[in-house]
Structure 1
Amino acid sequence: MQILYGVHPVEEALKAGKRRFDHVLIARERRDDRLEAIVNLCRDLKIRVRTEPRETLTDIARTQAHQGVVAIVRQQEFLTIEDILAPTGDPRLVLALDGIEDPQNLGALLRTADGAGVDSVVMTERRAAPLSAVAAKAAAGAQEHLRIARVVNLVRALEDLKRQNIWVIGLDERGTTDYDRFDFTGDCVLVLGREGEGLHDLVRRTCDHLLRIPMAGGVSSLNVSAAGAVVLYEAFRQRRAKQRASAGSDKSAGASSKPKRLKGLGS
C-alpha cells in the first residue's frame, strides 16, 4: 500500500477512480468545505473515513504538510512501453524523463504535463525518483490523470518510439536549435535529463534533435521542471494554434460550399 496526503492528491485520486482505497484519515482539528467534499466523495464511493488527531496524521505521513487528510491506497499501476506505442489517432506528445531524481521536480513536471496536454509519460525505473507521496503532493494529483509507463532501458524505449515515426527531441543546453523554432505539431517525444547533469550520453545520441532554451542572464540553464514547463507549453501553444486554424478553415470551407440563394421576383 501507499500513502497519499494533501487535499489535491487525495481528491484527484478519488475522482480519477483508478486506485483502490483502504481508508482515509481526516484531522479532527480541521473542518472546512474542502475536507467535507473529500468526506462526501468517500461516502459516495463507500470508502472508510476515520477522524484522528492531527499528530497521528503527521506521524503516518511523516510530514506536517498533509493539510489534514491522509489516504492509504494501493500503489499506482504503470503502463508498459507497448501501451504507449498504441496509436491514439491524434498527434502524440510524449514526455520522457531521463533519471529525474528530485521528487519535487518530478511532481512539478507531471503537473505541467497534465496541463499542457501530454499524451503519455515515460519514466526510468532505476536511479530516478519514485512516484512517492512527496511527488504526488507536488503534482497536486495530476499523476492520477496521466498515462505513465516505467521502463528499465530508456534508450530502447526511445528507439521503439522512433520506429513508430515519433520524433525524439532532447532538451539540452548544448543544443543548436532554439526550442521555439521547432515544429511540435506532429508526433514527438520530449526528453528531459537529470538535475545538473542533463541527458545521459546514450540518450542524447538517440535524440533526433537537440533543442535549447536561450538564456539572457548569467545563468546557463533553468531548473529542469521550469525548463520542461517552458517547452511543453510552447508545444501546447503550437498544437492549439493548429487546431484553431484547422477548425477555422473547416468553417470557411463549409460556408463556401453552401449554395447561394438566388434573388428573383418576390425576393
Structure 2
Amino acid sequence: MEEKNTNYIVGRNPVLELFKTEEQIDKLYVLKGETKGSIIKIINQAKERNIIIQYVEREKLDYLSNGLAHQGVVAVVTGYKYSEISEILDYAKEKGEDPFIVILDCIEDTHNLGAIIRTAECAGVHGVIIPKRRAATVNETVIKTSAGAALYMRIAKVTNISATIDELKKHGLWIYGADTTGENLYYQSNLRGSVGLVIGAEGKGISRLVKEKCDGLVKIPIKGNIESLNASAASAVLIYEVERQRNESKG
C-alpha cells in the first residue's frame, strides 16, 4: 500500500463511514456547543476508540474543510492508502467473481472522481485505477463526494495507464473504452467476463495510446444537442450495464 498525505474527512456521514473502516483517525475536530443529532454518535464513537477530540470555533472548521459543508465535524486521518493491482485481482478471486475494474484516463475533476467511485462501489466493482500524474487523486473532496465510498473501494494509482492495460490483459481481462467513435452501442456489446472499463477525461475522452490498447470501443447514444455526457454520468450508465450483463450470465 502507498500512503498519501494527511486528509481531512469532512461532514457527518463521511465521518460515520470512516468509523466503520480500519483507517487510523488521528484527531476529531468538533464545533463548540454542537450537541444535536448524529454529532453525539460521532463523539461517543470517537471516545470509545480513544480518539483525540478538539472542540473548535466554526472558523477553524471552515478553514480545514476548504469550502465543503463540514456540518460541525472534521476528522484527520493519517493518509489514504492506495492498493496494488494485484490486491484488486485477489479481491475478485476471493469473491469468486470475474474481475471488474474501472480505469480512469486522466479524470481531472475531483467531484467527477468521487461520483465515479461512489457508483463503482455501489455496483460491486472490484477496483478503480487512476494515473499518478495529470489527474485527480483521492483527497477530502473525493471522499466527501463519494459519500465515503472511497474508503471502501480499492484504488490503484499507476505510472502508465497503457502499460497497466497490458498487465490486465495478461490476467485475462478484456478492455473496453467509452468513446463517441465506438463501433457498437454499449447495450449491444458483450461486456461479460473479466472486464476493464476505460473512462476518458472530461471534454477530451480517452487518449490515443490508451484507445489503441482497448479491445473494443463502446458508445452511449446521444440524441440531444450536447455531444456527450460528463465522465461520472457516462460511467454510471456503463458500469451498471456491465453489472446487468454479469447478472444475466449468472442466471
Same fold (TM over 0.5): yes
1:14-59 alpha-carbon deviations (Å, 9 max, x no partner) = 1112x21111111124333222222222122221222212221112
Letter of the 2:9 partner, please give it: L
Deviation at 1:167, TM superposition (A): 0.4
Corresponding position of 1:238: 245
Question: Is the alpha carbon distance of 1:64 and 1:2 closer, same or farther for their aligned partners in structure 2, counting shifts above 3 Å?
Answer: closer
Q: 1:109 aligns with which of 113, 116, 137?
A: 116
Q: Does residue 77 of the first structure (1) align with residue 81 of the second (2)?
A: yes
Letter of the 1:47 partner, please give it: I
Corresponding position of 2:211: 204
Distance in 2, matches of 1:31 and 1:180, equals 50
Corresponding position of 2:37: 33
Question: Is the alpha carbon distance of 1:64 and 1:156 closer, same or farther for their aligned partners in structure 2, counting shifts above 3 Å?
Answer: closer
Letter of the 2:15 partner, please give it: V
Corresponding position of 2:150: 143
Corresponding position of 2:196: 189
Mapped contact 1:29–1:54 kept (Cα < 8 A): no
> In percent, how many aligned pairs have the same letter?
36
Alignment of 1:1-267 (within 5 A): 1-17=6-22, 19-86=23-90, 88=93, 89-243=96-250, 245=251
| Aligned residue-pair number | 243
Letter of the 1:16 partner, please give it: T
Secondary structure at the residue paired with 1:26? strand
CA RMSD of aligned residues (A): 1.5
Distance in 1, matches of 2:243 and 2:40, equals 35
Distance in 2, matches of 1:41 and 1:137, equals 20
**Larger displacement relative to structure 2 (150-159 or 228-237):** 228-237
Q: Which has the larger Rg?
A: 1
Deviation at 1:182, TM superposition (A): 2.0
Secondary structure at the residue paired with 2:206? coil
Secondary structure at the residue paired with 2:46? helix
Deviation at 1:64, TM superposition (A): 4.9
Question: Is the alpha carbon distance of 1:189 and 1:200 closer, same or farther for their aligned partners in structure 2, counting shifts above 3 Å?
Answer: same
Distance in 2, matches of 1:138 and 1:4, equals 11
Deviation at 1:131, TM superposition (A): 0.8
Letter of the 1:82 partner, please give it: S
Mapped contact 1:23–1:72 kept (Cα < 8 A): yes
Distance in 2, matches of 1:131 and 1:57, equals 20
Distance in 2, matches of 1:46 and 1:186, equals 45
**Larger displacement relative to structure 2 (230-239 or 198-207):** 230-239
Distance in 1, matches of 2:122 and 2:233, equals 14
Letter of the 1:114 partner, please give it: E
Secondary structure at the residue paired with 2:157? strand
Question: Is the alpha carbon distance of 1:221 and 1:83 closer, same or farther for their aligned partners in structure 2, counting shifts above 3 Å?
Answer: same
Mapped contact 2:130–2:137 kept (Cα < 8 A): no
Deviation at 1:192, TM superposition (A): 0.5
Corresponding position of 2:3: none
Letter of the 2:143 partner, please give it: A
Mapped contact 2:68–2:141 kept (Cα < 8 A): no
Distance in 1, matches of 2:152 and 2:64, equals 25
1:175-231 alpha-carbon deviations (Å, 9 max, x no partner) = 111111123331101000111001011000000010000011121210010000111
Distance in 2, matches of 1:64 and 1:182, equals 40
1:222-242 alpha-carbon deviations (Å, 9 max, x no partner) = 001000011111122222333
